Structure 1
């Protein structure tokens, strides 16, 4: 437990980092946490650790909330988020908080995004085959990503088996493509079942879906069947809600019951005559429905949850059947095709095992997880769910909407441009030959106008960076013609330098970008003539933006070897690009973030003697000599998730540095309170 008192945000972040540092990476251990109710929690999952901590300071709760939101959105990085946040705040302890907060947007736009788009690009690998992001994820890359992800969450005897189960589930479900993988992520709770008391080796991937209900009526049938989904009782009622039914005698009552029974039998006869042999119900059916279902050979599964009903609808594409009014005699058009239907016993729990024929890209399969106790099963399921969420981020890219804005002639970035600050935004068109790229392009396109003071220069964060000529007139701006085919009217390749860090996929995840209180964009545009050479060094590969995706900071499928390479590379290139910025505040922030990034590999290699020093020197020496990276460990990690982690930490730092006053309210205010 921590109390607020006079503790600074840096001290609070350092305390949080100390709580999670020991469980970071494959060499980390499991944390034993005791909950307020006395229950013990043994885990390596950063999200579960932060949720279980009893945090009293408001700043600590805000930090944990930001880390949890990032983890929920990207599936990775809760512990790394806390460590990087603590390192950044600790380095800013002696500086001016407001000045640092104002410099962060300019740093992200002018240094961080250029370091990623230009410096990191030659070192990135692609997890997709030659077909691009439209093709499915490579099997080898899938296994490397899953096993590396699970290293920091499961023990050495578990992660390999769980990773293979995840690969098999993705392969059988067709979840190497975005639509099927998204359904697997959203409905993972309904697509897996747990069996306690069995070893992990007994875990299996089964075809079909396991419904957490037993059959209310089971009539064995072979071959392909038709199934109907209902969400209300099939036995008619005498009166609708709000309508009274007057029964004046016992004879009338018996006649009404006979009518209800006859109507129920007619419905079941209609289902049977239409070839329906399985009834899936979201509510409990009347005993007469069960009776007539058995009489006509129709199996019934009732009391399905709303999530299970939604899953069946998504897989099969059918809507619930409603035999109201005269529709009893109508043709049943929306019926699912079922290949098998049978009960299944897992431990002491009975399930309805049903094989649905899919109407989409997702092929229904379910995962049966076995473990000695339920707590271990929960950890395995949570780790796999986070891994699938992480895999979904591979299909996202950063900065793609810049090209769409240029083609459509409109910008989706909020523009705040005024003549008073016209000198702060400049565009530059640079023509180059196809044989070489000048040092000016390699170093990044500098602004034509230097800010008069650091505070004035920091106001650039209030203006869009990627502006069309029509929206940014002025004597300092040169016209830039962007063509959809990647060339301008003069025949030179035109590239819009992209650095706003938010694309359409981010807007779908407000948890990651909710702290962004400023607009970001690019300050300059450049024309390039070469494709990116992956086998070339940074000096030979230009700015690292390809013709096929001219406005992207990161392309879909970008991965790097696991083990701290992203942090070392970003540290190296932030230092390199910070030297070209003529603003002292941005340079200071660049050095702070660059040094803070090293705290991650330091924690990863902290248990080895001189492990980090050796790793750092080998990697930086290879960068200086333009040699391949010395990869020592197997496994890959998503660069998109790592990049979003850095930007999310910077946004969290901005929020924390802008806090003026913390007010503690002991009890909620009510309307009856006497305030005066």
Structure 2
């Protein structure tokens, strides 16, 4: 078990001053934990809970959330890393590594007295003022430099998950992206199987008349209802079931062939003599008996009417009385009751149907009920429990399928569920533009990106590839690497992008904003590319402050590939790989990347942006003030973690 080394005792000395060195110490304590399980060949972390339970995991978010953290800085870092993971589905360990890399570079710059401000030097300035200025520079660097460099210089190196020939998704590319993702989340023995399972599930759920982003969003939102956990079985028994699995048993099951018409109800069919807030007065036993007969006949007529309307299945959110089940069986109608509201909502999303009112006059007077068709309704045995399986027509806007996730023990199964759920968050981010709010270089000329006092724009600085062409627009192959990853993927250097218009996948020329589905090889390729272009820009930038920030972030990015190659068991030297990579980049030579997998470019950019935002908050902190209780003006909506 790894204990957090910087666990605070009860602090009695307040306020406590906080400088960059102390922030770095806290961040490095987290880095020492996550770096051991980082990368495809990283190990697992063992936690022993106070109850004696064991937790073995290599999920970065699970590791950080399992730590007992008292230091406010550690809490800020973990909170920011988890917020990043909630968007991209992964990247917690990379977040900590990159954060520590930037903090170390900043500390080194301060020690060398390289960090200067406009109008003075470090010697006669307070470090707090320098760091606050640095906090603003981080945001300026992201919006005015980083985004433009990614759009103009890194995007030519991107591949796409869409095939050029058929305008469809490349199954091999999606598989490679998932392989790379699960290599950092799941043990070596099961990652290939789980990756193939998720890729197959993703392709099965895609119809031809709905956008990919909508389908992935539905899977993420309704993932709890779209998967079933089965304990006590090997992981290899996990499978995909067509349709959805309702996590209840049939109250009444009447087998029926062909298509089945179903209704959704949220109330009981059988009415009682009085409601909970109504008093029912009877004068005699005979009157009571007649009232009961009337209600029983009403229920019988309702079920008979449903049979005449060809309804063969009732999905109910409430438990139906025995008399309803009796007449349902007599009329050949299956009933599934006590369904969770979330599963009923999923059925509504899939079919577009609404709930049916159980009022007698409302049902009988209708010639057409709000029903929907299903192709199959049958019980299914998963593990030792019975459930209900519903399959739907392929003409719907969503082709629902259910994942059956098996595991020998509960803890491992829950980790698999979390990893698969996060994988779809990663896919959702994959189909987002890499940079959504970037101003093009032409626009940046008017707004200013990198100035010396007046801040000349990036275009005026002639930001180009390493040949420093006079033209400000970086050509695709000026420094492109032929990333020969797979035959199905579009080679690096092409401008072909893709988007979904009216439900159809359409390829078109890449624009600075529209680069959805962009991927690039893993193994630190993104970090080394961005490092090269940032260092090239820093050499040309006339603003010393932004040039320093570019150099700091560029050097810090190498902390990620360094840890990747450090964890490899085979003899692989990072410095040799890096020198080989940069040499090929300068000479426009091809590098074999088929063994590196593929990563989402959008997730990579989001990682850098999230770290910059976190650092901009950390370096602006001067003091930590301890309080024994929540201030009286703190509302319930405000987080107590910041207090």
Q: 1:660 aligns with which of 622, 634, 637?
A: 622
- 1:100: how far off? 1.4
1:254 aligns with 2:313: no
C-alpha distance in 2 between matches for 1:63 and 1:391: 25
1:11 aligns with 2:20: no
Normalising by the residue count of structure 2, what TM-score does the alignment of the two structures yield?
0.81
Contact 1:281 1:301 in 2 (8 A): yes
- 1:634: how far off? 4.1
- 1:137: how far off? 2.4
Q: Deviations over 1:563-612 (max 9, x none)?
A: 11011111111111122222222111111111111110111111345521
Q: 1:165 aligns with which of 194, 197, 200?
A: 197
1:650 aligns with 2:592: no
- 1:653: how far off? 0.7
Contact 2:84 2:92 in 1 (8 A): yes
Q: 1:397 aligns with which of 409, 412, 433?
A: 433
Contact 1:399 1:551 in 2 (8 A): no
- 1:227: how far off? 0.9
Q: Deviations over 1:234-291 (max 9, x none)?
A: 2224445644433444443333322322222222111111111111111111222111
C-alpha distance in 1 between matches for 2:73 and 2:600: 29
- 1:17: how far off? 1.2
SS in 2 for 1:559: strand
Contact 1:70 1:78 in 2 (8 A): yes
Compared CA separation, residues 310 and 446, structure 1 to 2 (3 A)? closer
Structure-2 residue corresponding to 1:641: 603
Structure-2 residue corresponding to 1:562: 522
Q: How does 1:537-616 map to 2 (within 5 A)?
A: 537=479, 552=512, 555-608=515-568, 609-616=571-578
Structure-2 residue corresponding to 1:130: 164
Compared CA separation, residues 529 and 637, structure 1 to 2 (3 A)? closer
Q: Deviations over 1:384-426 (max 9, x none)?
A: 111111112121114556799x9xxxx9xxxxxxxxxxxxx85
SS in 2 for 1:285: coil
Structure-2 residue corresponding to 1:368: 404
Task: After superposing the two structures, state which structure 1 stretch, 66-75 or 652-661, moved more.
Answer: 652-661
Q: Deviations over 1:111-163 (max 9, x none)?
A: 3123211221221111112289xx54211111111111111111111011111
Q: 2:225 aligns with which of 190, 193, 197?
A: 190
Normalising by the residue count of structure 1, what TM-score does the alignment of the two structures yield?
0.77
SS in 1 for 2:566: coil
Contact 2:152 2:473 in 1 (8 A): no
Contact 2:434 2:605 in 1 (8 A): no
Task: After superposing the two structures, state which structure 1 stretch, 615-624 or 575-584, moved more.
Answer: 575-584
C-alpha distance in 2 between matches for 1:49 and 1:238: 57
- 1:358: how far off? 5.5
Q: 2:452 aligns with which of 434, 450, 453?
A: 450
1:286 aligns with 2:321: yes
For the aligned residues, what is the CA RMSD?
Answer: 3.2
C-alpha distance in 2 between matches for 1:654 and 1:528: 30
SS in 1 for 2:354: coil
Unaligned runs of 5+ in 1: 412-424, 429-444, 467-477, 479-496, 498-525, 672-676
- 1:379: how far off? 1.8
Structure-2 residue corresponding to 1:67: 81
- 1:545: how far off? 8.2
SS in 1 for 2:315: strand
C-alpha distance in 2 between matches for 1:15 and 1:643: 25
Structure-2 residue corresponding to 1:310: 345
Contact 1:549 1:555 in 2 (8 A): no
Q: Deviations over 1:31-89 (max 9, x none)?
A: 11223443221111111112211111111111111111111111121111111112212
